[in-house]
Structure 1
């Protein structure tokens, strides 16, 4: 079939988006930055519990996804494939942001519900303990784009594609990108991001050309 180019944010748009996120309430800032930094799927980010974070090694264990079908209760399920169950890595900055968010959540939960936040709690929880659902973030994202004059064709899922494209632009190999995104086959990654890899290959060839003078 014909490969369609997926909308991704270029580096300049990413900078603008991050600035826009920093004007939002912390919940949204953290959620969207996390998706951008890790390339997680929307439902995977909604399914994260505090116990999934290994602070010492700065990793997050992605192992469930939140599903909400209209008229039905929220439920979580395991990732589509075994490779969906994976560890992603986060920077010191992201760690700091998540720690601040955890304190905020603990305070909110205590104030609003008289409850102590536990390790089993979701990072993005509704009062009463249910996880927040992907559509909440989808709507909010559209609003953020509109209010900040950012490209309207972007979506929360575009942040995943943006993450992958930036990795590829840094010269990260297919297998590694596939592992980080939770694709079971590197061929899937190659298929989706062929144009990004083509660009990297061209740049590699040009570097080689400079070295060889050919």
Structure 2
């Protein structure tokens, strides 16, 4: 690009170049690129216009401040270069690294790979996550044909117009986020950038756990189908009772199975990449000992005897450190995890269900929690880290179910609530209300006389005028007191007739007998039944 002008003001740092198009390009030296070893410049182009020169000076001043405060990116490296360096130095299990590489290759590199790390910001990542949520093919709303094969070919009905489909699992976007987070944190440690742009973005929401364990009826059908082959049936049974992961089920050795003490040590797992398999630590890098029930111990003893018989027929013996489940007669080799998963899926398909092996782990966890086992104990059996935090988060629905049973047990030990529910579902207290108003005082005295047996069933209450005179209240106040007793079912009253004490079966729980005769007027006590 031809330079048609440029200037410096005194010893001003940086320069502003005028391009042939009339635009201005701001350029400032910002040190040596740690990745390439070359001189690194901050650059920005200002569109032509009457205020272009003023805007260019503002940009230059901003660049100078960023360099002085060490807030500027120190490299012009792209996100692809950052990801290459991040994966090169990443120290994780082989399977974990392979998942990271697949996630970055499929989702990060196609959309953001050519973007400079220093130009990434919160808006860029928010837009990026929006694209992932909208379409797994990252089409951006563009229409195109999805061909059945790559390269030249003759299209048929399988070559169809693209239809946007979001990622099947929201957890995939979370994986992308964590890959970016790890890489950008390393970039800050390496001084490539001084501000982590991912912190300015809205992180993807965590998916709501939705374990779908088999129902008891489905579990029974699975066990019945699996035990058509003894070795396969014992593996499925052990998956149900221990909740072990797929790789952990393939790894146990006979010398780690202590049938006399009814325990199984889980120390390693089998990992797989294509046809290659190897033994590694468990997912959480924690060993654990799982107690076995009597029925499981009996099945394992019978299975051991069956394996010894098969080995004897082949004129060999089981290796002391052989695998519990093995495709070889001497048990020196382990099962492939993919083989176990595929066989389980085929079995469930024949039963008419679309299930995967990991659901047996959910079954073990939910059954234990539903039976009242402590969450920490369940977490220990499953190999969850965090002291039960993961278990509580994933299986919160079943924890709530156990909590409901606990609430029912507590109800039987609670005192009786002073409430009576009538036939219409209305709640009525059995406590004597505090007499704050005059009508409440009259009603309380009459209620006490009835509860003490002074006013018996069929006895007439004093006339309203007499009650009004004795308590020095209006007749309406005395009438309201009678209405309160009638509402409580203590008296019967009809128009033109004096109130009469009702059936005492309801009265017994209305008040405390010890305070029932307190302050009862003598005229009330002297009332007699209606002859």
- Indicate whether the TM-score tops 0.5: yes
1:102 aligns with 2:304: yes
Task: Give the structure 2 partner of residue 143 of structure 1.
Answer: 346
Q: What SS does the corresponding residue of 1:66 show, helix, strand or coil?
A: strand
Task: Give the structure 1 partner of residue 145 of structure 2.
Answer: none
Q: Counterparts in 2 of 1:25-44, with a 5 A limit?
A: 25-44=229-248
Q: TM-score, normalised by structure 2?
A: 0.38
Whether the aligned pair in 1 keeps the contact of 2:209 and 2:393 (CA below 8 Å) is no
In terms of fraction of residues, the more strand-rich structure is 2
How far is 1:196 from its partner? Answer: 1.1
Q: What SS does the corresponding residue of 1:143 show, helix, strand or coil?
A: helix
Equivalent pairs counted in the alignment come to 208
Deviating beyond 6 angstroms after TM superposition, the runs of 4 or more aligned structure 1 residues are: none
How far is 1:211 from its partner? Answer: 3.1
Relative contact order, CA 8 A, sep 6+: which one is greater?
1
Task: Give the structure 2 partner of residue 132 of structure 1.
Answer: 335
Q: Which structure is larger by alpha-carbon Rg, 1 or 2?
A: 2
Task: Give the structure 2 partner of residue 117 of structure 1.
Answer: 318
Q: TM-score, normalised by structure 1?
A: 0.90
State the alpha-carbon separation in 2 of the partners of residues 7 and 40 from structure 1.
16
1:179 aligns with 2:384: no
State the alpha-carbon separation in 2 of the partners of residues 171 and 142 from structure 1.
30
Which runs of 5 or more structure 2 residues have no equivalent in the other structure? 1-205, 418-531
How far is 1:118 from its partner? Answer: 2.1
How far is 1:209 from its partner? Answer: 2.5
Task: Give the structure 1 partner of residue 215 of structure 2.
Answer: 10
**Aligned partner of 1:80 among 283, 290, 294:** 283
How far is 1:170 from its partner? Answer: 0.4
1:207 aligns with 2:207: no
State the alpha-carbon separation in 1 of the partners of residues 222 and 327 from structure 2.
25
How far is 1:71 from its partner? Answer: 3.9
In terms of fraction of residues, the more helix-rich structure is 1
State the alpha-carbon separation in 2 of the partners of residues 211 and 17 from structure 1.
41
1:164 aligns with 2:369: no
State the alpha-carbon separation in 2 of the partners of residues 47 and 56 from structure 1.
20
Whether the aligned pair in 2 keeps the contact of 1:28 and 1:137 (CA below 8 Å) is no
How far is 1:96 from its partner? Answer: 1.7
Residue deviations 1:113-155, cap 9 Å, x none?
x421122000111227220111111111112212223x31x21
Whether the aligned pair in 1 keeps the contact of 2:259 and 2:301 (CA below 8 Å) is no
State the alpha-carbon separation in 1 of the partners of residues 224 and 333 from structure 2.
29
